[in-house]
Structure 1
Amino acid sequence: MKKGIKFYLPCWAIALAVFNVITFAVPITVNVNKFKPSFWIGYTFITLMFIAQLACSIMFFKQDSNDKRFLNIPIISLSYTALIVSIIVGAVAMVVSFIPYWVGIILDVLIVAFYAIAIISSKAAAYTIENIDKKVKAQTFFIKSLTVDAESLLLRAKSDETKAIAKKVYEAIRYSDPMSNEALSHVEAQIAIKFNEFSNAVVEDNKPLAETLGNELIILVNDRNKKCKILK
């Protein structure tokens, strides 16, 4: 369990304990509705919402990345709001004697339904955004990975000549369209093979070969960019 929930649990337990102490400490002479059906309906409703809020918080804190937590912030916010609204409505049902118990039940059901739908919708939206984010990361991996390799190769260049062509290749890759596509798999495979050959030439400080392969690599990258535009 993540560290956040360890700090949250004591606060949640204290809040629930305070609610119970206040509920049962108030004498029946003050709350004439105490221990009547509407009282127990309101008490049960608030307690269940405390438990539901705890469940939402545990799911939130168990997220394995900050990005996932960020996407689930609306869910945790809704759970807090639902708890506050439930405490207000439940307290009214517990205290006000002239409200029929069936009115309290209907209000409780409506509140649960409204926030349940809202939380489920927020979770679905977070799931959709997360999948889109994963897809984008997968589609941009080739260029981003190649950019890192090109930058590393630039630092390994020994002479000014090889460093100059390595810089041209790095800039061509760095400023190319990051989005990939299945239709680009053939040209990207060519780029990967050509980059390996170019990398060996730069490391070996083979200036003529590095310049030739570097120019060919830049042409392939430009061809890929043109195809990217066509696919959009």
Structure 2
Amino acid sequence: MFIRTESFRQFLRLYPIISIIIAIHILLWLLIFLSLPFGTTLLQHMIGFNFLISEGEYWRLVTPIFVHSGFGHMLFNSFSLVLFGPALENMLGKGKFVIAYLLTGILANLATFYIEPLEFAHVGSSGAIFGLFGIYLYMVVFRKDLINHMNSQLIITILVIGLVMTFINSNVNIVAHIFGFIAGAIVAPLVLPKTSGQPQIIMAGDTSYRPRMRIPRHFSIKHLLWLIIIILVILGIFL
């Protein structure tokens, strides 16, 4: 499900929305953190600063989804999209995936605005990423026809790790994590396919039928390396 088997070109072709989002992450990081003249100004206009939102700068409910506090922050969030996004982009289609990603991120930032104090400021796409996890959990609980048992257990494990890490680490926007997740569960029935059948989210790699994906017959060193990367990314996005 989360082990990528595509080449770089295949990934760009199969998952254009995720590729565009990651490209935006990288471009903004380059503009902001490579000491370009307008980088600091750009960052100041994109931070989710509650006081300025209250003054009418409502675009700040959207822009934090794409900007990050540093290279590591950007890297882990982008890699999490590489791992957790493709299955949903395949299943939902480009339009619904964009709607789900942006809507859950905006709702997470809106909750942050109403719950956190006016001096609170934040950046990062973790609210939207937790929105994807909320969609996955909805499938695990209510749409078992769309996900198999093995991946259901994997999703539950990831969510348990996420919940623990969210509350034990500092500098985490707890409100965005929780409400992004809740938003994902709410949005899920609106964007998921209405038809039922055999589990559709299995493994990545089969391009002959869009929702279904191939399970590798042999567990190789490549798969082991991907599992290690997955564990590191899971830990990274929750720090």
TM-score by length of 1: 0.26
Larger relative contact order (Cα-Cα within 8 Å, sequence gap ≥ 6)? 2
- Structure ID, larger Rg: 1
Whose helix fraction is larger, Structure 1's or Structure 2's?
Answer: 1
